[in-house]
Amino acid sequence: MILLAIQLLLAHVLGDFVLQPEAWVKDKQAKKLGSWALYKHMLVHAVVLVCVLGFNFSYWRGMVIILISHFVIDSLKLLLQKYWPKKHLLFILDQLAHLAILAWVYHLYHPLPWPMNSQSTSFLLMFGLATIVLTQVSAVVIKNLLSSWQFAELTQEESLRNAGKYIGMLERLLVFVFIVLNQWSAIGFLIAAKSILRFSDLSRAKDRKLTEYILAGTLLSFGIAIATGLLFRFGQAFL
């Protein structure tokens, strides 16, 4: 059963990332639906899909659904780029839409059990709650707890906009995953890597207060991630 899922994902990754030159991407962005690159991209997807599925045309309905939906999703993405300046969010939504279609096609051939049992539902709800806590909630909590301290070094123009926020989110998510997988040693490597990267900032600032500020933020971030991971594992024991 899982073979079809792997085949569909492989075809998508090859068609959307490996076999799509940067020149095609730029041409599509410039000419929108009038770009021949868009139609060549669809042709590549069709060929890759047929090859990866081993020329098994019993999946013809799924192929048609994937190709038509892929064209519609890509076209909407190109048209919305003019009105949606946040291209990274548009890219994420684009990929999520493609993955949702792939999941639907997989369900057509291998129906997934629905409704899910209470154990599966509880797990997904716990995981969703943990993800929200580790991203948006934690960012707001840490920002408010450290709001009484302000430093010029933290607001310099050369710093990427919201980079610290997103780095913190990824950091907490990684710590959470390591705890769920019971890989505590990996957290040590993560802390060491962050310390090395932060060393240049601290040495350049030569400011004890800034050092303490960064340490406070880091400890808060890791503390929230560890607590969330432990609570998640504790909750799993009752599922």
Where is 1: in which H helix or E strand?
Answer: none
Show the tokens assigned to 200.
């240049």
Burial label for 219, CB within 10 Å (0-12, 13-18, 19+), is: exposed
- Residue found under tokens 């490996």: 18
Distance CA 210, CA 92 (A): 35
* pLDDT tens readout for residues 157-197: 556 677 778 888 999 999 999 999 999 888 888 888 777 66
Rounded to 5 degrees, what are φ and ψ at 116?
-70, 155
Residue 160 is given by DSSP the state: P
Q: Would you state the pLDDT for residue 162?
A: 73
Whether residue 7 has pLDDT greater than 80: yes
181 or 113, which is more confident: 181
Distance CA 191, CA 175 (A): 10
* pLDDT tens readout for residues 23-61: 999 999 899 999 999 999 999 999 999 999 999 999 999
Sorted by sequence, the CB contacts under 8 Å of residue 153 that are 6+ apart come out as 201, 205, 207, 210
Q: What DSSP line would sit under 16-47, residue for residue?
A: IIIS--HHHHHHHHHHGGG-HHHHHHHHHHHH
Q: How confident is the model at residue 207 (pLDDT cuts 50, 70, 90)?
A: low
How many angstroms separate the Cα of 156 from the Cα of each of 28, 79, 152, 234?
36, 35, 7, 42
Mean pLDDT of the chain: 85
Q: How confident is the model at residue 105 (pLDDT cuts 50, 70, 90)?
A: very high
137 or 203, which is more confident: 137
Q: Would you state the pLDDT for residue 99?
A: 95
Q: Would you state the pLDDT for residue 204?
A: 55
Q: Would you state the pLDDT for residue 120?
A: 76
Q: Would you state the pLDDT for residue 167?
A: 86
How many angstroms separate the Cα of 147 from the Cα of each of 57, 153, 227?
60, 15, 22
Q: Would you state the pLDDT for residue 143?
A: 84
Mean pLDDT of 102-125: 81
65 or 204, which is more confident: 65
Q: Would you state the pLDDT for residue 98?
A: 96
